[in-house]
Structures are given as structure tokens and as C-alpha cells.
Amino acid sequence: MMWAIATLLLAGVARAAISNAMLRGRPSLPRISVPERPVTSPNGTTLPPIKTVYYFDQLIDHNDPGLGTFQQRYWMNWEFYEPGGPIILMTPGETDADDYQIYVTNGSINGLIAQHQKGAAILVEHRFFGDSNPHDNLTSQSLALLTIQQAIDDLVYFAATADLPMSGGDAVKPGQTPWVLIGGSYSGALTSWTMVNKPGIFWAGYASSAVVETITDYYNYFTPIRNYMPRNCSSDVESVIAYLDWMYAVNDTAGIQTLKEAFGLGGVVHVDDFASARELTLSLVQSSSLGMARTSSDPSNI
């Protein structure tokens, strides 16, 4: 039974085996595929596909503009836009932004606001995630630029300076048209922080399930899953966790390596990266269970 449960817990090994360890153990906004369909403006003009990628010259360091810029990816949909309408801006936060294009369509609240208010919706990738990297490495020196303040300044600088690809997109800066900032979970908190830290830039902010307290080791995040999943399952999960924790505590490197190889993760160097495969799959339990939706604050369940 223990090995069967371990197999279930490590079903998401492809996600755990990625090189970017910053993705470990975090809730995320749901990825929802965007159906391929023709996109037209209100006057019938054919527009680029929703998945078209655009690039913005973002400052590497807002405290030292002389360091230059990096290419920050973004996506945009202006099928509902009419002059004077708002610009709806969002970042998915701490993840690459591929497959998040649903958030510029009316399949999301972002796009619904754009549709009803005759606006345009934009999704901008967070620095250091996906292909929006100030540096081509994740050294401590590079990651010194991964701060809340730099992320806030990214959003402000984008809104204030980006010339958008739509017609008239060079004349829709804050002060010329309303900008609305939207986010969920971490990006919801980032929305709130931006509204306070840089007032007057965004006309309004919409924060869904925004983080209100920073806790370094928030093990209680998974307590609802432990409490509400079938009891025989939760007890087996706890047994697997205890077993792996014991191997780590006694420094059974050979046993750990054998277990990693059994799940195709033999090349993963850090034990905590290997253990995160269990954690990520527990997040999948949360996202796919109606019971979890009633007990979790993650926006994927709203």
C-alpha cells in the first residue's frame, strides 16, 4: 500500500524535475487552455491570435536604470477594446506565463471586465520566471533583483512606458486611460502592495485570495487536505512522509537515491526538490476536490 500511495504522490514528477527550484511548493493560478478561434475587433478587423507573444524592454534594476533592460514577455487581447476603455493588467505571479492566456479572454474575470467596459486585457510575465529573465542564471547575485519592490516597479514601468501593439496603443498610458490591476494569490498580494506603494498609477485594483501574512514554513497550508481526504488515504500519505523524513534524518543517501531512481528522478540533486513532488501532487488534490474548495484560500478553487 505504501508504494502505491508513493506512486500517487509522485505522479507529478515532470513538474518536480524542472530546474527552477523557485517553483517548489507553491499554490498557483489554474492553467486553462485557450481554444483556437478567430479574433476580431469591434469593427471586424482581424486581430493576432490570443497566444501571440509580445516583448517589452523592462529595466533590469529599477534602482539603477543604467544596467539596461531585459525582454519581458506579455500577451494581449483587444477584441473588445474601444477608445477610452480601460486596460486590465495582470501577472500570474511566481510561474512562467505560458498557458495562462485565458486571463486575457472573457473566460476569466479579467476578460469579462474588458468585455463589459470595452477595454483590453494584458498578461505580463513576472521577472525571473518563464523567459522573462534579467539574467541567464539563478545565482544569489542575480536573484538579489527578485524582490517585491522590483516586481511592483515592473508593473508600474510597464503601464507607464509600454507602447501596446493595438492601434493607438502608444497613447493609453495611466493618465490617458484607466488601468486596472488584477491578481490572485501572490499576484493578488502584489496588486494590493502596488496600490499602496505606488498610488495614483492604477485606477483600481482587484485582489483575489491575496496573501495577507508571510509565513516561511506554512505547513498548515495542507491541513485541510489531511483533514478532509479519505482517512485511510491521509494516514498512508502521512506514513510515506514519515518514511522519507526518516531516511533523510538518518542520512540514508543510498536509500534516498534508490527511491529517486524508482520515480525517474535519479538526477535530482537536492532532497527537498525530490520531496516537493509529493507536495505538488497534494496541491493537485486541493485543486480537483470540491471538498477542498470549501476549505482552501487558493484562487484556483474560486
In the structure grid, which three cell numbers stand for residue 83, read together?
477608445
pLDDT in tens, the chain (302 residues): 333 333 333 333 333 333 333 344 455 566 666 767 778 888 888 999 999 999 999 999 999 999 999 999 999 999 999 999 999 999 999 999 998 999 999 989 999 999 999 999 999 999 999 999 999 898 999 999 999 999 999 999 999 999 999 999 999 999 999 999 999 989 999 999 999 999 999 999 999 988 888 788 887 878 888 888 777 788 888 888 888 889 989 999 999 999 889 888 899 888 888 887 767 667 777 666 544 333 334 433 33
CATH of the domain at 67: 3.40.50.1820
Contact in structure between 98 and 18 (CB atoms under 8 Å): no
Q: Which of 115, 110, 45 minimizes the C-alpha distance to 81?
A: 115
| Same-domain pairing of 187 and 279 | no
Q: Are 162 and 21 in a shared domain?
A: no
Q: Which amino acid would we find at residue 81?
A: Y
Q: Is 187 inside any structural domain?
A: yes
Q: Can you tell me the distance from the alpha carbon of 184 to that of 175, in angstroms, rounded to the nearest whole number?
A: 25
What is the count of structural domains for the chain? 2
Owning domain of residue 264: 2-27+222-301
pLDDT per position as a tens digit, 1-28? 333 333 333 333 333 333 333 344 455 5
Q: Is 41 helix (H, G, I), strand (E, B) or coil?
A: coil
From 208, 240, 270, give the residue that closes a domain: 208
pTM of the model: 0.75
**pLDDT score of 288:** 62
Calculate what percentage of the chain has a pLDDT beyond 70: 81
Looking at the fold, whether 84 and 200 belong to one and the same domain comes out as yes
Residue 36 lies in a domain: no
Given 208, 240, 255, which residue is the final one in a domain? Answer: 208
